[in-house]
Amino acid sequence: MSKIQGFTIVEDGTVTTPKGFRAGGLHCGLKKTERHDLGAIVCDIPAVAAGVYTLNAFQAAPLKVTKASIGLEGKLQAMVVNSGNANACTGAQGELDAYEMRARAALAFGLPEHYVGVTSTGVIGELLPMAKLRSGIDRLPDRVTVNGGDDFCQAILTTDLTKKTICVNLTIDGVQVNIAGAAKGSGMIHPNMATMLGFITTDAAIEQEQLQQVLSQVTDSTFNMITVDGDTSTNDMVVVMASGMAGNSLLQEQHADWVAFTQAFQYVAEVLSKAIARDGEGATKLLEVSVVGAATEAAARAIVKTVIGSSLVKSAAFGADANWGRIIAAIGRSGQEVNTETVDIRLGAFVVLEQSRPITFDEVLALDYLQGESIQYHINLNMGEHQATGWGCDLTYEYVRINAAYRT
């Protein structure tokens, strides 16, 4: 365990580390290869639950079903996920299928239907192969164990190259509280096969309203601050389940450990977000863009996302090119008010622009830095006190190959 701020990282921790959670995955035939394509996280008791959902107008059917489940009591006891098929743009039949997926899982796990959430990721516009899914769901309960966190992580992957999981531990009211997360996504959103999904479990005791508040706030500065290609999926979703089995007194803003809890929660979301960005389709490196000195937080975020989403900035990163002209051009087209005379830009430790004027820097050392696996762009607008940070990846030949060849 390593200590960070008020919490520690649990080595090999997964979504089943928080008390009360089991998980698992299996192959039911939605993916052509023998990889897991169906998984579930199950809690021993109804867990307090909250969710955030894609803003894409063509929101997929399972998201509506999960929203309906959480809407009833603010609780979930199982989240069931399939990969290989997004159940998006599938009309009324797709919605019936998502509800049947929920009903079947409720039956299999012996739960009321509204304690079950469902989600799907994969190809858009094809109906779920329900026969395969039904038999898979029926076999799920046997596979869901306290050791199944890793299998669950595998079940949610599509074009991802790496599993994305994290668990932290902190002390609240003298008891140990765990917060764990699993995510998938090889881009902020990919309409066909790389939806961003996040699953966070915790044994903290917390009321639904507070849990939703923490999730929404943290999502704004983590999951919503990553982009691989700017394409927002129809299936994005992050769900958190809190079992309350850690035994702390109910968390709310007046609680002495509220800040420690939200910081730990933020850390879990940030680690997953960076893991998604680093594993962006075809990526060779993680880009981190920070904007400080902005007039508003909204401006800071908009500028971060414009820079991190620029194909030209991303291509330059791939080429390890200290091409700050592309950064300044992206800032200028962000639609935010900027003072064109006061911008500073640093690439790692290399100051390249000060008060909007080019600064001579050591191109050889900068090249060395930019060839690394993780590079940071720092932008100071010198206009105010607000800031934001976001993550993305470089644009590579491999990204084009993956997405030119993908469906066919």
Residues that bind its own copies (CB under 8 A): 55-59, 86, 88-89, 91, 123-126, 189-192, 229-234, 310-312, 315-316, 318-326, 328-333, 337-338, 340, 353, 356-358, 367, 395-397, 399-408
For residue 304, the minimal CB distance to its own copies (Å) is 16
For residue 51, the minimal CB distance to its own copies (Å) is 19
Nearer to its own copies, 30 or 78 (CB): 30
HSE toward the beta carbon, residue 147, CA cutoff 13 A: 1
For residue 119, the minimal CB distance to its own copies (Å) is 16
Nearer to its own copies, 86 or 206 (CB): 86
Bridge pairing between strands 344-347 and 286-294: unpaired
Nearer to its own copies, 33 or 408 (CB): 408
Evaluate whether 101 touches 64 at the Cβ level (below 8 Å).
no
CA–CA separation, 83 and 157 (whole Å): 7
Which backbone phi and psi does 257 adopt, to 5 degrees?
-100, 15
For residue 188, the minimal CB distance to its own copies (Å) is 10
Give Cβ neighbours of residue 382 (< 8 Å, ≥ 6 apart).
293, 339, 342, 343, 344, 355
Among the options 195, 232, 389, 396, which is catalytic? Answer: 195
CA–CA separation, 377 and 24 (whole Å): 39
Nearer to its own copies, 15 or 123 (CB): 123
Nearer to its own copies, 126 or 138 (CB): 126
User: What is the signed CA dihedral for 398, 38, 274, 211, rounded to 10 degrees?
Assistant: 150
Which backbone phi and psi does 15 adopt, to 5 degrees?
-65, -10
Known active-site residue 195? yes
CA–CA separation, 315 and 313 (whole Å): 6
For residue 50, the minimal CB distance to its own copies (Å) is 23
Which residues does residue 182 pair with via DSSP β-bridges, in sequence order?
165, 199
Catalytic residues: 195
